[in-house]
Each structure stands twice: as C-alpha cells, then as structure tokens.
Amino acid sequence: MTAKVVTRHARAKINLCLHVTGQRENGYHLLDSLVCFADVGDVLHVAPADHLSLHVDGLLSEGVPTDGRNLVLKAAKLFEHPEGATITLTKNLPNAAGIGGGSADAAAALLAMAELWDQPIPDNVVQLGADVPVCLAPMALRMRGVGEDLSLIPPLPPLWAVMVNPRIAVETPPVFKALKNKNNAGLSEMPEWHDAREFAAWCAMQRNDLQTPAIELAPVIEQTLDALHPSLLARMSGSGATCFGLCESAEQAEILATQIRAEHPNWWVVATTFS
C-alpha cells in the first residue's frame, strides 16, 4: 500500500502597499497593508515516518537551514501530539526577500500536517511570524495590526507582474530600525478597480514605508526598481529586496522579464500573475 503523501504550495506573498502606522510597547510594528499572492512559490511534500525530518532541495535551497531554525519544523512542532513525518521542501523563492517565503512555507506545513495527522491547525500560529496567518488563506486581503487583523477587499482586477530579486538577502529588523517615522497614515479608501491600469494608479497613491530605509541599506534595490520602470507601477515588496512591476498583460510581463534577464543575468526574475 502506498504511503499517503500530502502536497502543498507555498505561494509568494506580495505587499502591494505597506504602511507602518505605529509601534507597540513590546516593539512590534503596526501595519496597514494590501497583500496578495503570486502564482509562483515553494512546494512542500509530507509523508508519514517514524520521526520528524526535513529535506530541502531546489535551485534556491542553498543556505536554507534543515534543523530547528526552519519555520517548517517549528510549525510541525506546534501540533499538540506531533507524529513522525518526512518533509521535503523545494525552494523556488529567494530567502530573506520580502515575499514571505518562510511564512508561506510555515503555513503550507501547518496545512499539510493538519491533513496528514488529521488534527486541527493550532491556535498560536502567529508566534511563527506575523505573516503566517495571511499565508494560511492565500488570497488578496487587507492586513492590519501586527498581521492578525485580516479583512476582505474589493476584488482585484486581473494583474500580471514581473518579480525581481537582485540576489541579495535583506533582513527585516535592520530595515524597521532604519525607518525614521513609524506613525504614518493608513491606506486610503479602496474603490472598485476595473483593470490593472486603474489599480496601479490607486496603488501609486499608497506607499511601502520600508522602501526608503531598505534602499539605504541595500542601494541595489533602487537599481532593481529602475529596471522595472517600463511597468505600470514599480515597488518593493515587504522589507525587500524583491521588487515587482505591474503590467497590463501577460505578454507585456514576459517581454519585460526577458529584457531584465538579458540585462541582469544573475538576478532572479519571473513573470507571474497576482491574485
């Protein structure tokens, strides 16, 4: 009898807008962010085993820990009675890239383990990271507070995009530390968007408050944004260094991605869709 294998996809999380609206006494920053997910991500396979183990493969697996530091194993150990499982994580997303790769992996692990072990998802998943709750339901949402306050938004129009990472890792804490103003206004009212151009125009009136401090720490981010400028909107996601450019069609996204790959062959570049 073939052992049960559960597969989950961990889609990249994109902060289309990210406003930092305050900071709690415990140090946690308050956000108001419009989040969506790309049609590209890591892949997680889990199967029953005598003990818990993690194997990481894929083109972007270098440097990814396979011990207790990995959020996938931390997620598995949150279950009340964790059983054994062999976990294989295929890394297609760059690390420390502002696209929630680790959080998406953790969320995929929670969903996969819940199915494999026939257990409910634990209540305390936010301890794994502020982005884990939104990654459990990968859809466009407004994310407020420290990531726990999730609400529906008007439907996104079809969005094509190019995602670019200049192959550098940017750690989140130094970016927040470099942010000068931590009490900014939240997102403006969200209308009904009819197409990508209309949506990009609304997004252009919003911000990513972490973009400027991230550029100060990693100036190549500005070069990345410049490479995306033929798009409707070029912006950094999360705390960087991944940036995205919104496009009006799949063809335009592919053309832009091809152009950037030719000019920067060492960068990570993908044409994708957002939803």
Cite the active site residues. Answer: 13, 131
100 vs 123, 185, 190, CA distance in Å? 20, 24, 24
The 3-state secondary structure of the chain reads: CCCCCEEEEEEEEEEEEEEEEEECCCCCEEEEEEEEEEEEEEEEEEEECCCEEEEEECCCCCCCCCCCCCHHHHHHCCCCCCCCEEEEEECCCCCCCCCCHHHHHHHHHHHHHHHHHCCCCCCCHHHHCCCHHHHHCCCCEEEEECCCEEECCCCCCCEEEEEEECCCCCCHHHHHHHCCCCCCCCCCCCCCCCCHHHHHHHHHCCCECCHHHHHHHCCHHHHHHHHCCCCCEEEECCCCCCEEEEECCHHHHHHHHHHHHHHCCCCEEEEEEEC
d(CA 216, CA 51): 45
Q: Are the CB atoms for 220 and 264 separated by under 8 Å?
A: no
159 burial via Cβ count (<10 Å: 0-12, 13-18, 19+):
buried
